[in-house]
Amino acid sequence: GQSLEQPSEVTAVEGAIVQINCTYQTSGFYGLSWYQQHDGGAPTFLSYNALDGLEETGRFSSFLSRSDSYGYLLLQELQMKDSASYFCAVNRDDKIIFGKGTRLHILP
C-alpha cells in the first residue's frame, strides 16, 4: 500500500520560517507534490519534486530524498495568509494519493 505521514498541526510566528515534513511508505512513484488548502476552499498546487533535491518557488521550497523516503515543504517569511492546510501527495500509477495534511497556524 501507500501511506504518507505528516504532522497534524504546526504553529509558527509571522515572518518566521517553517518546515512541514512528509514521510512516505511507497515505491516506484514519479514524484512528490505539495498542495495548499484554505478553510472552505479547494486544494491548489504549490510544487512538485520529480528528482531528489530542492525546488524553489518564491517563498516556498520543497525537498525530496528518495533514499530517505522523506520530503518537506519550507515556507519562508511567513504571512498570515499562509494559514492553511498543506498536503503532500505522491504521483503513482496514474493516481495522486494525498497525505492527511498539516494544519499551519501562524501567530502574529
Partner 1 sequence: NAGVTQTPKFRILKIGQSMTLQCTQDMNHNYMYWYRQDPGMGLKLIYYSVGAGITDKGEVPNGYNVSRSTTEDFPLRLELAAPSQTSVYFCASSFRGWNTEAFFGQGTRLTVV
Which residues contact partner 1 by CB under 8 A? 30-31, 33, 35, 41-45, 48, 50, 87, 91-101, 103
- Least separation in angstroms between residue 15's CB and partner 1 is 27
Nearer to partner 1, 9 or 14 (CB): 9
**In sequence order, what E strands does the chain have?**
4-5, 9-13, 18-24, 31-37, 44-49, 53-57, 60-65, 70-75, 84-92, 95-98, 102-107
The 8-class DSSP code of residue 80 comes to: G
Nearer to partner 1, 70 or 92 (CB): 92
> Residues near 46 by Cβ (< 8 Å), separated by ≥ 6?
33, 34, 35, 36, 57, 60, 62, 73, 86
Nearer to partner 1, 43 or 71 (CB): 43
φ, ψ at 54 (rounded to 5°): -105, 135
- Least separation in angstroms between residue 82's CB and partner 1 is 19
- Least separation in angstroms between residue 8's CB and partner 1 is 9
Nearer to partner 1, 14 or 105 (CB): 105
- Least separation in angstroms between residue 35's CB and partner 1 is 8
